[in-house]
A and B are shown apart, each in its own frame.
Chain A
Amino acid sequence: MIKIFKKYENSIYSFTAILLAFLVGSILIHLSGFSVIKAYSALFDGAFGNVFNLTQTLMNTIPLIFTGLAVAIGFKSGLFNIGGEGQMYLGAFATAIATIYLSFLPVYILIPLVLIIGGLAGSAWGFVPGYLKAKTGAHEVVTTIMMNYIGILITSYLLLKYFKEEGPIPQTALIPESARLPELVEYSRLTWAIFIAVFVIIIIDIFFKRTELGYKIQTVGENRSAAEYAGINSNKMMVLSMMISGFVAGLAGSTIVMGVLHRFITNFSPGYGFTGIAVAVLGKNKPWGVLFAAILFGALQTGGITMQLFAKIPMDLIVIIQGLVILFVAAPILIKKLLRK
């Protein structure tokens, strides 16, 4: 019995943390004068109630897989990358613009190429905080947040100055048909991007489990001085991990442009970059853990809209649950104490 408990210890803690978050959430719902059952059933129904809702949940899961992975990759080297939001904006913008100039290419070259361009743009945005951390020690949480603001402003500036489509909405023209990812279910906006996301999970999993570079990055994250002692250049590893992290966050933006919006629009994100933090923390920074956490938060995001529309309960409940999950998962001792009772 104890053996089984030990094996699944982490999962049990995470599961308890989620339950606890929903429990605290239900107290808040009740105190605010709403029905807890109505709130949570609307949330569940909105996320999984029918095929369409399910496709919307998966559609919302895709960017969270990327941004969650991005945070997890940063954590592997001991860095907390909160810059996913800015890196995603850069990726989205670069992809949208690249499709305009590269539309003459055949699809099988165009699609991978513009994805890589989006990733590289995100990577450049991740490089700056990584480099500053390695060279000066500037705390990456502060610098990545500042880079978020700068990224959102700079894409908005470039859009308005050079690429804005005629009309009142600040957005680019539609990207060419050939650069759009095909839909899996008609009218759902759930596209092949889900396979790209799973493919990236597999790659990152192999990278950290099977490659020397991945191993070196993790060693730096676990014990920087030990890594240095073993001859690993920890500064280089930190910069690299921020660049890989930024690349993956950039893909979140690219796939949204290619699969969902079909153009770049200012302020398109409902905070996917920040939800990625909760996803990574809950997923324990493990690539497959990130997948499950992303589905949970994708479902909350989708269900939250139904809850607000039909049960008239503010969808900010899901932000509260996100915050609680992060706090509870970050404090395993609290959960241990509760479970022992």
Chain B
Amino acid sequence: MQEILEVIFNINTFSAAIRISVPLVFAAIGGVFSERAGIINLGLEGMLLTGAFAGVLGSYLTGNPYIGILFAIMAGAFIGFIFALFTIKFEANHVVAGVGLNILMLGITTWLMQILWGSRGTSVNVTGLGEITIPILSSIPILGKLFGSHNILVYVMFIIVIFSWIILFKTPFGLRLRVVGENQEAADTLGIKLRKIQYTSLIFSGVLCGLGGAYLSLGQLNWFSMNMSAGRGYMALAANIFGGWNPLGAFGASYLFAYTDALQMRMQALNLNVPNEIIQMIPYILTILVLAGAMIRSRPPAGLGKHYKTNR
């Protein structure tokens, strides 16, 4: 028991959770922007996977992981645009199109991996992102351990969390975006450029997933492996819901998931009498419970998943 408590409150668990949370946070905020604009985004999973692949490809081609991040951003934006095209212009059922996109991107990334690197399992090793140590912060006891030394994407994540909250709740664009998600017809009548806002949100959602994906492949590791997003996109969608379609809430929810995951990994190492399979289930069970609990008290944007034809 003593051992378990030590792991639960260990600073290393909290610090590991920050690292694990990064892809979830990016994708969950991507989910916030997309769903606030009325588009159910199950494609987060495929977008994350695309970002992870493009990141490694960029680093492989140039030897520079920062160019890898740029590749991931561009690939994410492109997939976000394609998803917007299908869900908005071609009026595809959002949920079906999202799952279709995920299957497609799983196929394409695995295919390209074999063409480029000749292996179905993992890519070659590329240059990953290095740690950046922030001078004064890193020497403060607890804060230093938590925030002092990470790769660039972790710091970008914190900026994105605050930046997206400001955009969504403190700017005219954010207000319009939220109106679109609530009622497209009303937004259209008010003269809001409905389509422009929806496309922008989905492309931004793709960019965020690109960054999250790049963190998976270039930040946590320095290679790409088949299906490396492993369901994180779906967890991120749940985090977005649990967080009340709010970037700050999405961050909190993602961190909670990441914390349980970190705990799960550390508990496996403890050789407790609980079998590993059962410990591994904890994050999945938690996602279900949290989602069920969250849905009782919060309400999605009213126009979520609906199609609307504009005359403009």
Contacts and interface: CB of A to CB of B under 8 A. Distances in A.
A137 interface: yes
Interface stretch (B165-173, B183-191, B196-204, B234-242): B234-242
Given A141-B234, A153-B277, A156-B277, A326 B284 contact: no
> Looking at chain A's contact residues, is the secondary structure mostly helix, strand, loop, or mixed?
helix
Contacts of B284: 146-147, 149-150, 153
B111 interface: yes
A219 B241 CA distance: 28
Interface in A103-153: 128, 132, 135-139, 141-143, 145-147, 149-150, 153
Interface residues of A, number: 48
B258 to A, nearest CB: 16
A136 B234 contact: no
B95 A141 contact: yes
Interface stretch (A44-52, A53-61, A196-204, A328-336): A328-336
B92 A331 contact: yes
A320 interface: yes
B78 interface: no
Contact of B100 (A154, A326, A333, A334): A326
Contact of B111 (A142, A316, A333): A316
Nearest to B307: A333
A334 B280 contact: no
Given A143-B288, A153-B277, A330 B100 contact: yes
A223 to B, nearest CB: 14
Interface stretch (A94-102, A237-245, A273-281): A273-281
Interface stretch (B66-74, B142-150, B291-299): B291-299
Given A80-B99, A317-B107, A326-B96, A333 B296 contact: no
A325 to B, nearest CB: 8
Given A141-B42, A333-B91, A327 B292 contact: no
Contact of B99 (A141, A331, A334): A141
A324 interface: yes
Given A146-B288, A147-B288, A319-B106, A154 B111 contact: no
A323 B287 contact: no
B278 to A, nearest CB: 6
B101 interface: yes
A102 B86 CA distance: 51
A28 B103 CA distance: 16
B96 A132 contact: no
Nearest to B82: A327
Contacts of B235: 142
A150 B291 CA distance: 16
A182 B108 CA distance: 39
Contacts of A333: 89-92
Nearest to B230: A149
B231 interface: yes
B120 A314 contact: yes
A331 B90 contact: yes
Interface in A144-171: 145-147, 149-150, 153-154, 156-157, 160-161
A307 interface: no
A154 to B, nearest CB: 7
Interface of B: 42, 86, 89-93, 95-97, 99-108, 110-111, 114-115, 120, 231, 234-235, 237-238, 241, 275, 277-278, 280-281, 284-285, 287-288, 291-293, 295-296
18 contacts: A128-B288, A132-B288, A136-B291, A136-B295, A139-B291, A141-B234, A142-B291, A157-B275, A278-B100, A314-B114, A316-B114, A319-B107, A320-B107, A323-B108, A324-B100, A327-B100, A333-B89, A333-B91
